[in-house]
């Protein structure tokens, strides 16, 4: 194929005449679509989930924190439509891939979604397109997995098709930082790909940060999430230590963060959740083994964080034993909030599901309440909980529970009702302190 003049494509990006294709219309793809359409780009969204596609085309948002009105606005302006027909990839100028990258059973990277996506789009690709992977992954994925599959269709990267990596940096539910306000790190397979990717993102994000290669950009994303995972592990370990000493870890952190330099606050919890922090560190540990390197620090942090659900269950058992002498066997437990994160409906890798399984294994009768998760969706590791429904947080439900465990402190969680109608509360989030002692319940940390 003849070399492509990138100037024409750059101009289309700058003038917003280009059509953007986004593959994967979830927690990353939908906010990206809204950012692009907000400045006038036309976006075609691709997803293999046909019911989701049909719903989006009717203006229905599948995500709690993204309102229907925003989807409808993009549709009404004729800037967005969704499809499951990957043959339409030929209609777009840029393809942004936003698909999951989970872990396998043995904590190995599962790139099946990335590989499947590239195989699906490759037959419809044409010369003069930009292809950007946004999914979090290990260094080398873009050039070793994505690039060869595209070039196998007769393209040459950097000559007639352009390949780059720009990691998503979404924080679902964070109202202070939406996609357009978060700088985009960009690494291209060659100068032309880098230039094109930066030009595209420059049109709808506050800043682009070019780096020397896709591998560097992939490493940036892992570094960001490993930083969080390690610091959360540290404060989780301190929580366990300080509890034995009768010291409140939340009070410690709040006092420590008054130091204006050399410290930033991280808070303990019942375990890690979401698609990034529990998973991304292990992408690097797996990749490092190929280079004969053991990532001991990262793996230790992972062990501490994954031990937190068991810590919560043990704290609950001990509290019940002290209160009634019965322990967990036969106890009625209500989990308050089961999404992985406050104020979102995302159940991916939620520690609540692990806590549920551990409680059930010890004979507890478990139910849950979550104002954002009315029904538990299918999950990879806890399929037996699929379809379980949220209980109302009323006097009858709370009165029947021997203990309430606050796992996720949504703003819509009625803490006052929990405090009035519950005898024992295990608070993993320090949420009950908002009531300033106005509660009849015995509240214990975990």
Nearest to 441 by CA among 389, 392, 406, 391: 406
- Mean pLDDT to the nearest integer, 363-374: 97
Active-site residue set = 276
Collapsing DSSP to helix, strand or coil, 74 comes out as helix
Shared domain for 195 and 315, answered yes or no, is no
Residue 173 lies in a domain: yes
- pLDDT one-digit tens code per residue, 111-123: 999 999 999 999 9
Q: Please name the helix (run of DSSP H) or strand (run of DSSP E) that holds residue 43, with its range, or none.
A: strand 42-46
The reply to whether 345 and 204 lie within a common domain is no
The domain tally of the chain equals 2
Q: Answer yes or no: do 203 and 346 share one domain.
A: no
Structural domain that includes position 23: 6-213
What is the pLDDT at residue 121?
97
Residues 271, 392: Cα–Cα separation, whole Å: 25
Asked if the structure places residue 140 within a domain, the reply is yes
Residue 277, pLDDT above cutoff 90: no
Q: Is residue 20 part of a domain?
A: yes
Whether 378 is in a domain gets the answer yes
Q: What is the mean pLDDT of residues 327-353?
A: 95
Q: What is the pLDDT of residues 396-418, one digit of tens each?
A: 999 999 999 999 999 999 999 99
pLDDT at site 313? 98
Q: How many CB atoms lie within 10 A of CB 394?
A: 12
The verdict on 181 and 73 lying in the same domain is yes
Reported as a single tens digit per residue, the pLDDT across 167-213 is 999 888 787 888 999 999 999 999 999 999 999 999 999 999 999 99
Give the pLDDT of residue 67: 87
Q: What tens digit of pLDDT does each residue of 76-89 get?
A: 999 999 999 999 99
What confidence tens digit (pLDDT) does each residue in 134-154 have?
Answer: 999 999 999 999 999 999 999
The helix/strand/coil state of 52 is: helix
Model pLDDT, residue 172? 81
Residue 436 — very low, low, confident or very high, per pLDDT cuts 50/70/90?
confident
Does residue 315 share a domain with residue 426? yes
- 330: in domain: yes
- In this prediction the pTM is 0.92
pLDDT at 2 over 70: no
Of 193, 213, 233, which residue sits at a domain end?
A: 213
Identify which of 353, 305, 321 has the alpha carbon closest to the alpha carbon of residue 426: 321
- Same-domain status, 340 and 194: no
The whole-number pLDDT of residue 434 equals 87
Per the domain annotation, does 219 fall within a domain? no
157, 182, 213 - which closes a domain:
213
445 sits in which H/E element: strand 442-445
- Tell me the mean pLDDT in the region 24-50: 97
Mean pLDDT across 280-309:
93
Distance of CA 299 to the CA centre of its chain: 20
Are 199 and 79 within one domain?
yes
Are 195 and 313 part of one and the same domain?
Answer: no
Same domain, 200 and 325: no
Could you tell me if residue 145 is left (phi over 0), alpha (psi between -120 and 50 degrees) or otherwise beta? alpha
| 333-342: pLDDT as tens digits | 999 999 999 9
Q: Which residues pair with 162 in a beta bridge?
A: 130
Q: Are residues 30 and 147 in the same domain?
A: yes
**What CATH number is associated with residue 21?**
3.40.50.720
Q: Does a structural domain hold residue 90?
A: yes
| Number of neighbours of residue 57 by Cβ within 10 angstroms | 15
Whether the predicted pLDDT of 269 surpasses 70? yes
Percentage of residues in the chain with pLDDT exceeding 70?
Answer: 99
Query: Can you tell me whether residue 41 is helix, strand or coil?
Result: coil
Is 428 exposed, middle or buried, given 0-12, 13-18 or 19+ CB atoms closer than 10 A?
buried
Judgement on whether residues 190 and 334 belong to the same structural domain of the protein: no
Where among 165, 185, 213 does a domain terminate? 213
The string of DSSP letters for 285-318 reads HHHHHTTT---HHHHHHHHHHHTHHHHHHHHHHH
- Looking at residue 413, its pLDDT comes to 96
Residue 33 counted as domain residue: yes
- Residues with Cβ < 8 Å from 116, sequence gap 6 or more? none
Mean confidence (pLDDT) of the chain: 95
């Amino acid at each position: 194929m003849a070399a492509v003049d990138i100037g024409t494509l750059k101009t289309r990006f700058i003038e917003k005449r280009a059509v953007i294709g986004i593959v994967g219309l979830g927690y990353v793809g939908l906010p990206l679509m809204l950012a692009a359409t907000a400045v006038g780009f036309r976006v075609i969204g691709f997803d293999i989930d046909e019911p989701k596609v049909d719903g989006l085309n009717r203006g229905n948002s599948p995500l709690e924190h993204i309102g229907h009105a925003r989807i409808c606005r993009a549709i009404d302006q004729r800037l967005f439509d969704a499809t499951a027909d990957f043959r339409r990839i030929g209609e777009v100028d840029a393809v942004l891939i936003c698909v999951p990258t989970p872990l396998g059973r043995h904590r190995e990277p599962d790139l099946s979604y990335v590989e499947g996506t590239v195989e699906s789009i490759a037959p419809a690709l044409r010369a003069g397109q930009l292809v950007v992977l946004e999914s979090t992954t290990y260094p080398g994925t873009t050039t070793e997995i994505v690039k060869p599959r595209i070039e196998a269709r007769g393209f040459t990267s950097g000559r007639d098709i352009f390949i780059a990596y720009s990691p998503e940096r979404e924080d679902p539910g964070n109202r202070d930082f939406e996609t357009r306000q978060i700088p985009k790190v960009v690494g291209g397979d060659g100068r032309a790909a880098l230039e094109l990717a930066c030009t595209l993102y420059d049109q709808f994000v506050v800043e682009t940060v070019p780096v020397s290669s896709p591998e560097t950009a992939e490493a940036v994303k892992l570094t960001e999430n490993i930083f969080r995972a390690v610091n959360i592990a540290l404060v989780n370990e301190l929580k366990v230590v300080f509890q034995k000493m009768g010291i409140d870890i939340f009070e410690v952190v709040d006092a420590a963060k008054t130091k204006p330099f050399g410290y930033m606050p991280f808070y303990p919890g019942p375990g890690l959740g979401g698609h990034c922090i529990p998973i991304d560190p292990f992408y690097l540990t797996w990749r490092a083994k190929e280079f004969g390197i053991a990532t001991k620090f990262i793996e230790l942090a992972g062990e501490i964080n994954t031990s937190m659900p068991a810590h919560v269950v043990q704290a609950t058992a001990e509290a019940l034993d002290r209160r009634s002498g019965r322990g967990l066997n036969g106890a009625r437990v209500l989990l308050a909030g089961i999404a992985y994160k406050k104020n979102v409906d995302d159940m991916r890798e939620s520690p609540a599901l692990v806590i549920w399984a551990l409680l059930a294994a010890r004979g507890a009768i478990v139910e849950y309440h979550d104002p954002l998760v009315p029904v538990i969706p299918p999950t990879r590791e806890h399929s037996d909980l699929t379809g379980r429904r949220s209980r109302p947080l009323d006097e009858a439900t709370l009165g029947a529970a021997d203990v309430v465990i606050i796992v996720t402190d949504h703003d819509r969680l009625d803490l006052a009702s929990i405090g009035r109608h519950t005898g024992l509360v295990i608070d993993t989030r320090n949420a009950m302190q908002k009531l300033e002692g106005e509660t009849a319940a015995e509240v214990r940390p975990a």
